Amino acid sequence: MEEGVTLKKNSGLGIIEFSHPQSNSMPGKLLRELADAIDDAGIDPEIIVILLKSSGEKTFCAGASFDELLTIKNEKTGWDFFMGFANVINSLRRTTKFVIGRVQGKCVGGGVGLAAAVDYCFATEAAEIRLSELVIGIGPFVVGPAVERKMGLSAFSQLSIDAASWRSSHWAKTHGLFAEVFPTISEMDDAIERLIHSLLTSNPEAMAQMKKIFWTGTDHWDQLLSYRATISGKLVLSEYTKKALAKK
């Protein structure tokens, strides 16, 4: 598996796929490419609906790249890195097109944030979730608003505090992160195809207006997520975090 992001068009559908050889973890370069792909799909007149997926059949996204976190030497570099997640979430929020998520496997940290920031998310039973940031001395500050919006404060706080434990895909569905959960990838893909077929024949203007309503109250997120990135950018420099990362 190579690192990268692709955007493909297929009869009104924009398919954005990201990949990384380390369990689809996300270094800064990949985050920048992902935000750009979402923005490009959002303004492409040939694209009506966007599908966000990752490569492979196992982990959907392992979250932030630990290798890159270890290279952060100052607060500005830390802010830049965590703004990568902020920019992706804000791109998903701002696009006027529905974004469908496809989660085939485990979801960690920033990966949970991605699942929360899409408009409708499918998953398999293998898609366990975990907000593991506190284990390494940080916290899910940047992805927090997206997770809390989708799952509620109670579920978000449970995930954030019990950072070492996995929650099942069915737990995630019960708390609103996943709309539908399937035993196999093929069954999930069949359901995704059915929904996308329906959406591609729907009124784009109506969907754009619905998206505005769904994201009501988030206009301040450009500033909020930047502030949250500042918090994470400082904490990642702590001796606690450096030691925790070195053990991983």
pLDDT of residue 1: 75
Q: How does pLDDT run across 191-245, given as a tens digit for each residue?
A: 999 999 999 999 999 999 999 999 999 999 999 999 999 999 999 999 999 899 8
> What CA–CA distances, in Å, run from 200 to 12, 46, 49, 117, 224?
7, 11, 7, 21, 33
- Only one residue has tokens 């024949």, namely 201
Cα–Cα distance, 112 to 143 (Å, whole number): 8
Sheet holding 13-19: strands in order across?
4-10, 13-19, 49-54, 99-103, 120-124, 180-182
- The sign of the torsion formed by the CA atoms of 160, 166, 171, 176 equals positive
pLDDT tens by residue, 62-82:
999 998 999 999 999 999 999
The string of pLDDT tens digits covering residues 79-101 is 999 999 999 999 999 999 999 99
- Cα R_g (the chain), whole angstroms: 17
Contact 24, 62 (CB under 8 A): yes
Average pLDDT, the chain: 96
Q: Map out the domains of the chain with their CATH numbers.
A: 4-200 (3.90.226.10)
